[in-house]
Amino acid sequence: MYRAGAVQNPWRASLPASRSRLVLAVLLLSMLLLCGRAFFLQAVNHSVLQARGDAYYRRIIEVPAYRGRIVDRNGEPLAVSTPVRSVWAVPSEVEATSAEFAQLARLLELSTHELRARLAETEREFVSLNRSVPPEIAARITALQVPGIFQDTAYRRFYPAGDVMAHLVGFTDLADHGQEGMELAFQKELAGTPGRRGVIRDRKGAVVEDAGLMREAQQGRDVTLSIDARIQSLAFRALRDAVIAQHARAGSIIVLDTQSGEVLALANLPTFNPNNRGQRDPAQLRNRVLTDSFEPGSTLKPFTISVALEEGKVTPDTLIQTAGTFAVGTATIHDAHQEGVLNVAQVIQKSSNIGAAKIALGLTAESMWQMFQSVGFGTAPHLGFPGESGGRLRNYKTWRPIEQATMAYGHGIAVSLAQLAHAYLMFARDGEVIPISLTRSVAEPEAHRVISAKTAKQVRTMLEMAVQPGGTAPAAQIVGYRVGGKTGTAHKPENGTYSESKYIASFVGMAPASHPRFVIAVMIDEPHSGEYYGGQVAAPVFATVMSGALRMFNIAPDAPLTPIALPTSDGVVEEGT
C-alpha cells in the first residue's frame, strides 16, 4: 500500500564520501597550480609575457643619420641632405576606396597597378612605397587617412651644382648609399651610423608612445674637396662650348694647383644631372678625366727630350734633320708639315715626329721607361676615386725599336688626362713631382725630384716657344701672361690599326711660365667640325680657363699687357700626328 511519507526524490543521487573528497582535492590542486603558474609568470619569469607583449606592440625603428655634406675648398655646398618623408605600408592592414587608392598612387608617383602589386604581398610585415616624398606631398598623403599607410623621417640628397659637378661629386641611391664619385669614395665618412629608437604602436600601427632612444644616431662628417666652384663652373662652360662647336664625341678638362697638387677643377662631357634619379646613360656617368686612357700624342715629346737633355745626349741647340721621312725597320715615320733642319727646341715648337723619334732612338729604352714611370704613367694616381685608370705602359724589355720611336710622340702608350696633367707638374715645379689630391690639403705635399731644375727650365722655355707665333698653339696665349704648353693630336686606335678620320686633340699647359701656378690639361675626343689639331681645338679652351683662374687667384702678370697678334690660318703650324 502506497504511503506518502515513503516517497523519495528521483533526482537525488548518492555519492560516496571518498569520491567527493577526491573531486574536491583535484579542484583545489588545479587552483593551486593555476595560482602558482600565474605567480611564476608574473613575478619570477615575467620577461616571457613582456617579450610576447612587445612582439605585438613594441617596435624598434631606425633613426636615420644625417649624411655629411660635400663642400668645395671655400665651403660652397656641393651635396647636401634635405628632410623628406619615407612612406611605407603594412599590406594586411591597408583599406582604401578606389578613389583613395588612385589618389594615393598618384601622390606616391606610382601606377595603380604597381601600387596594388606591392600591397598584394600580404605575407610581408611592411613594404616601402617611396623613400623620398617631399613634406608637402607627405601631408596630402596623411590627409587621406588610409589605414596601414605610415611615414617616417628620411633624407634626400640634393646637388646644387647639378651637371657642373656631376662626375666628381657623384650621387647616392634611394637608400642614400653612395653610387658614384666622391659619394661612393667617402661613403663611410659621409654616411654616419643610424640610431635606434623604441616605440609602442597600437593595433593599427600608429605610434602611441615613445619608448626612448636606444642608440643615438652618429651624423656623417663633411668632406671638403680641393675643387674651387668658380673655376669648376668656368672650366665646364668652356669645355661644353668647345664640344658643341667642334661636334665632338666627348671632352675633358682638369686644373691643378702646382703648389699643392690640389685639383681645382675637373669636368667631362657628356654629363648628367645627379638630381634626376631616372635612368642614366652609362656613357654619361664616366669620369673620363680619371677612368679613361688614351694615346696622348705629341704631349709626350717633352718627356723624351727631357731624358736626352738630362743624359747630355743633346742640348736645346742640337740640330736634327727632319726633312722627308724616317724609316725604322719596315715602318715609316713622317711629319704633317715639312721643316727640314730643326734644333731640339724647335722639335718641340714645331712638334716634329721625326725629330722626337730620332732623339728617342739615341736613348736606351730603359731610360725612357724610367722617365715615364717616374712621372706616374702606368700607375693609377691613387686619388681614392672609384675606377681610376693606371693607363698602359709596357715594360721596356718588350719594346721594339719602332715602339720606342713612336712612344717618343705618344703612340703605343696610354694615359689618363689626370696622369698627363700630373706629369707636367715636373716642368712647372723645376723638375719635382708631387702627389695630386681631390680633397683640400693642409700639409705640405711631399715632392720627389725627377730631373734637374736646369733641364726643367730648358723644356719650359721650349713649351713657351710652342705657344708663340710659329708654334703649334698660339691660340693658347693669354694677354699679360707668359704661357707654356704642348699640343697633341693622335689618331684613335680602331680595329687593330689607326683610324684615318677619328682623332683625339689635346693640350697641356701652364702659366705664368716664369713661375707656373696652374697646370691645365684639355682633351677633345673625335672633333668633327673640320678642325682636329690640338692647337686649334683644345688650346682655346685652355686659354679661356687659365685666364679666368689667374685672375680669380690674383696672380700677377709676367708679360706686357699688349694685344696678342695671332697668325692667320695659313700660318698655323700643323703638328705631327
Please check whether residue 542 is in contact with residue 301, taking contact to mean a CB–CB distance below 8 angstroms: no
CA separation for the pair 576, 229 (Å, rounded): 36
Helix (H, G, I), strand (E, B) or coil at 174: coil
Predicted local confidence at residue 60, as pLDDT? 65
Please check whether residue 247 is in contact with residue 532, taking contact to mean a CB–CB distance below 8 angstroms: no
Does 457 fall in a domain? yes
Which of 208, 224, 240 represents a domain boundary (last residue)? 224
Does 427 fall in a domain? yes
Shared domain check, 240 and 220? no
Does 43 fall in a domain? no
Shared domain check, 323 and 391? yes
Shared domain check, 502 and 377? yes
Shared domain check, 269 and 211? no
C-alpha cell at 477: 696665349
CATH code, domain carrying 260: 3.40.710.10
Give pLDDT tens digits along the chain (577 positions).
445 555 555 555 565 777 777 777 788 888 888 887 777 666 666 666 566 655 555 566 666 778 999 999 999 999 999 888 888 888 878 888 888 888 998 998 888 888 888 888 777 777 888 888 888 998 999 888 888 888 877 788 999 999 999 999 999 987 889 999 999 999 999 998 877 666 566 555 555 455 555 667 788 899 999 999 999 999 999 999 999 999 999 999 999 999 999 999 999 999 999 998 777 788 899 999 999 999 999 999 999 999 999 999 999 999 999 999 999 999 999 998 888 999 999 999 999 999 999 999 999 999 999 999 999 999 999 999 999 999 999 999 999 999 999 999 999 999 999 999 999 999 999 999 999 999 998 888 999 999 999 999 999 999 999 999 999 999 999 999 999 999 999 999 888 888 889 999 999 999 999 999 999 999 999 999 999 999 999 999 999 999 999 999 999 999 988 766 655 544 445 555 5
Which string of b and e fits 55-77 if b means at least 16 CB within 10 Å? eeeebebeebbbbbbbbbbeebe
Which of 224, 243, 265 represents a domain boundary (last residue)? 224
Instruction: Identify the residue whose cell numbers are 696678342.
Output: 564
Predicted local confidence at residue 2, as pLDDT? 47
Shared domain check, 235 and 208? no
| Number of folded domains that form the chain | 2
Cis peptide leading into 147, omega within 30 of 0? Answer: no
Write 367-374 long-range contacts (CB < 8 A, 24+): 367/307, 367/311, 368/304, 368/307, 368/396, 368/404, 368/407, 368/408, 369/393, 369/395, 369/396, 369/399, 371/303, 371/304, 371/306, 371/307, 371/450, 372/303, 372/407, 372/413, 374/433, 374/450
Does 271 fall in a domain? yes
Does 11 fall in a domain? no
Does 505 fall in a domain? yes
Shared domain check, 490 and 560? yes
Does 6 fall in a domain? no
Shared domain check, 264 and 217? no
Shared domain check, 200 and 304? no
Write 386-392 long-range contacts (CB < 8 A, 24+): 386/180, 386/181, 386/184, 386/185, 387/287, 387/290, 387/291, 388/290, 388/291, 388/416, 388/418, 389/290, 389/291, 389/292, 389/293, 389/416, 389/419, 391/293, 391/415, 391/416, 391/419, 392/293
CA-atom Rg of the chain in angstroms? 37
Shared domain check, 356 and 208? no
Shared domain check, 439 and 537? yes
Q: Which among 559, 482, 494 has a CA at the least distance from the CA of 525? A: 494
C-alpha cell at 120: 598584394
Please check whether residue 94 is in contact with residue 120, taking contact to mean a CB–CB distance below 8 angstroms: no
CA separation for the pair 21, 110 (Å, rounded): 72
CA separation for the pair 251, 430 (Å, rounded): 29
CA separation for the pair 416, 389 (Å, rounded): 7
> What is the residue range of 74's domain?
60-84+153-224
Shared domain check, 258 and 163? no
Does 352 fall in a domain? yes
Which string of b and e fits 126-137 if b means at least 16 CB within 10 Å? bbebbbbbeeeb
CATH code, domain carrying 178: 3.90.1310.10
Q: Which residues are catalytic?
A: 298
Q: Which ranges of 120-247 does DSSP label H, i.e. alpha helix?
A: 135-144, 166-169, 181-185, 187-191, 229-245
Helix axis angle, 301-310 relative to 353-361, nearest 10°?
A: 40
Q: State the virtual CA torsion across 382, 387, 388, 390 in degrees, nearest 10.
A: 100
Please check whether residue 69 is in contact with residue 222, taking contact to mean a CB–CB distance below 8 angstroms: yes
Shared domain check, 389 and 533? yes
Cis peptide leading into 83, omega within 30 of 0? Answer: no
